[in-house]
Amino acid sequence: MTSKTQKIESLAMILQEQHINLPNPPERTVLAHLIYAALLENTLFELADSAFTILENYFIDWNEIRVSTVNELADTFPMLPDPLAAGERVRRALQGVFEQTYMFDLEELRKKGKNLCQAVEFLNSIPGCTRFMIDYTTQVAFGGHVIPLDEASLRIFRLLDLTQVNKEGTRENVAGLERAIQKKSGLAFALQLHHFAAGFYNDPELTELRSILKPIDPEAENRSWTPPVLTIPKPVAKPPIVKPPILPLPAMPFVAPDEDDFDEDHVGTEIEFVSDEIIYQHDSTNLSEKTDKKNAKSNKSTTSSAEKKKTPKREKTSVKKKIEPTVVVSNSFPPIIPKPLEKQPEPVQEKTKKTTSKNNKTLAKSDTTSSSSPASSSPTSSSSAQIVNNSNEHLAEHSTRLKKKSTEKENEKSNNEKNDTETTGSTIKQLVKKKPK
């Protein structure tokens, strides 16, 4: 009777005789190895490679794959033997990674400070990761000595009677597999075993496989390959979050207010508001004590007011700002330039009237003097006539001068107004040109 280690060694010899030479898997990230293992389970390497390339090229990132439905994922890789199961594994694995890390990066597990056991524990804690996915990533990504086994490879070991269920009844193991296969040839043996077993996954009778395994164990032709009934492990319940008890606040001691805070005289009295002044309606009792208290308060207020008066106050200086004229420009109206007010000259006619009235008064005075002295009427009459003539000539000359001055001022004003209108028109044109469109 052959032992279990001999059966495993003879199986390795058969796999080498099949001339199964597969290249090592390419370098990928830890998460990429995990998703590739979800597609590779119970599938040939060629089909898994094509499905993985479709995932990388068809979807934008891992988050889009996580959000998409299982049917959408299954439609992208119809070449797999069970696309729905593969889509479910991929989606659940990405969702579990996101819930654990809130990102799609597991490269921290490759750091030197991390132990292999810690990495395996982390992968086991991710919901949705199967046994084959965890073992494949530990072997390929972390370099651990583990042989990944899926349903197709477990059928071979069931026919050879090499499987057994653990005590908890949650997992089917192959005892002594890692001891019979050395670590150097562990990766090559795992790749050959997977490729050989995946070719018979869709064959329900496994007649060809039984004939190949007959030299190792003659009872393999009649032994069943159906999987045993396993109990589903219960999820580890997280410990409840115990909140600290809410302690009541300590009672604050009652502190009586000081006498200065309020006036005892006014407690319980009515208040009347008359012209922004408060008048208290006091009782007739204890009036003398109340007046004494009020006098003491008034003395305090007078002393404080006297101290305040001693401090000199700063005089407020008011500075008048000059208002400069501003130019208001608009598209429809000309600019308005305010000008300072000037004293208007008095009209010429009023000045002439004043001068004539003064001269008439002087003449009237001279007439009165002449009339008062009749003896000297003849010489004075001639002199008065000369004076009147001279004054009239002087008035005429003065009036002509004033007219000339008034005409000159009017001409200057008209010229200034023309110049102002020309300058304002030129400024408007310049501003209109500079205005952005």
Note whether residue 235 is domain-resident.
no
Confidence (pLDDT) at 371: 47
pTM: 0.55
Q: Is 360 within a domain? A: no
Q: What is the pLDDT of residues 291-321, one digit of tens each?
A: 666 667 666 655 555 555 555 555 545 444 4
Strand pairing report for 172-174 and 277-280: unpaired
Q: What pLDDT, in 10s, does the model give residues 135-146?
A: 999 999 998 999
Beta bridge partners of 394: none
- Which of the four pLDDT bands, split at 50, 70 and 90, describes residue 237? low
Structure tokens that stand for 315 in this block: 């005089």
Residue 80 or residue 326, greater confidence: 80
Answer left, alpha or beta for residue 64, where phi above 0 means left and psi between -120 and 50 means alpha.
Answer: alpha
The answer, yes or no, to whether residue 77 has pLDDT greater than 50, is yes
Calculate mean pLDDT across residues 93-122. Answer: 85
Token pair 């401090």 is at which residue?
311
Query: Given this model, what pLDDT does residue 141 score?
Result: 92
Q: How much is the pLDDT for 379?
A: 46
Mean pLDDT of 215-234: 84
Q: What is the DSSP string of 185-214?
A: THHHHHHHHHHHHHTTTT-SS-HHHHHHHT
**In the listed set 163, 196, 221, which residue is the last one of a domain according to the structure?**
221
Cβ neighbours for 71, distance < 8 A, ≥ 6 positions apart: 84, 87
What string of DSSP letters covers 332-369? SS--B------PPPPPHHHHHHHHHHHHHHHHHHHHHH
Quote the CA–CA distance of 106 and 94 in Å, as a whole number: 11
Last residue of a domain, one of 221, 247, 279: 221
- The set of residues, in sequence order, having a beta carbon less than 8 Å from that of 370 and lying 6+ positions away, is 377, 380, 381, 384
Distance (Å, whole) CA 309 – CA 159: 114
Of 231 and 296, the one with more pLDDT: 231
How many domains is the chain built from? 2
pLDDT band at 220 (very low <50, low <70, confident <90, very high): confident
Q: Is residue 190 part of a domain?
A: yes
Confidence of residue 272 (pLDDT cuts 50, 70, 90): very low
Is residue 340 in a domain? no
CB contact at 8 A, 46 and 198: no
- Three-class SS state of 174: strand
Asked if residue 285 has pLDDT above 70, the reply is no
Question: Does some domain include residue 313?
Answer: no
Tell me, yes or no, whether 202 lies in a domain. Answer: yes
At residue 193 the predicted structure's pLDDT band, cuts being 50, 70 and 90, is very high
Rounded-to-integer distance, Cα 80 and Cα 42, Å: 9
CATH of the domain at 168: 1.10.340.30
Domain range spanning residue 428? 348-355+389-437
36 and 45 in contact (C-beta within 8 Å)? no
> CA 15 to CA 194: how far, in whole Å?
10
Residue 255, CB half-sphere, CA atoms under 13 Å: how many? 4
| Confidence at residue 175, expressed as pLDDT on a 0 to 100 scale | 84
- Report the pLDDT averaged over residues 365-384: 49
What would the pLDDT profile of 165-182 be if each residue is shown by its tens digit?
Answer: 888 888 889 988 989 998
86 contacts 41 by C-beta, under 8 angstroms: yes
Spatial distance between the Cα atoms of 389 and 204, rounded to a whole number of angstroms? 156
Strands 277-280 and 271-274: antiparallel
According to DSSP H, which parts of 41-180 are helical? 45-58, 62-67, 70-76, 83-101, 116-125, 131-140, 151-159, 177-180
Listed residue (50, 60, 52, 57) closest to 32, CA to CA:
52
pLDDT band at 437 (very low <50, low <70, confident <90, very high): very low
Asked whether residue 248 is assigned to any structural domain, the reply reads no
CA distance 384 to 64: 127
Does the pLDDT value for residue 329 go beyond 50? no
Q: What pLDDT, on the 0 to 100 scale, is given for residue 366?
A: 52
Q: At which of 167, 193, 221 does a domain end?
A: 221
> What pLDDT is attached to residue 84?
94
What local confidence, expressed as pLDDT, does residue 251 receive?
73
Residue 163: phi and psi, rounded to 5, are -100, 155
293 inside domain = no
Locus of tokens 């045993």: 228
What is the C-alpha separation between 365 and 369, in angstroms, rounded? 6
Distance CA 254, CA 398 (A): 102
3 state SS for 380-398? HHHHHHHHHHHHHHHHHHH
pLDDT in tens, 47-64: 999 999 999 999 999 999
Query: Can you give the pLDDT at residue 43?
Result: 93
Q: Is 28 exposed, middle or buried (0-12, 13-18, 19+ CB in 10 A)?
A: middle
Mean pLDDT, rounded, for 214-232: 86
Q: CA nearest 126: which of 150, 151, 92?
A: 92
Lowest mean pLDDT among 39-43, 60-64, 402-406: 402-406
What pLDDT score does 132 carry? 95
Residue 376 reports pLDDT greater than 70 = no
Please give the average per-residue pLDDT across 152-159, as a whole number. Answer: 92
| pLDDT band at 372; cut points 50, 70, 90 | very low
Question: pLDDT-derived band of residue 418, with 50, 70 and 90 as boundaries?
Answer: confident
332 pLDDT above the threshold of 50: no
Q: How confident is the model at residue 28 (pLDDT cuts 50, 70, 90)?
A: very high
User: Which pLDDT score is estimated for 289?
Assistant: 60
Alpha carbon distance 266, 41 (integer Å): 92
| For residue 335, pLDDT beyond 80 | no
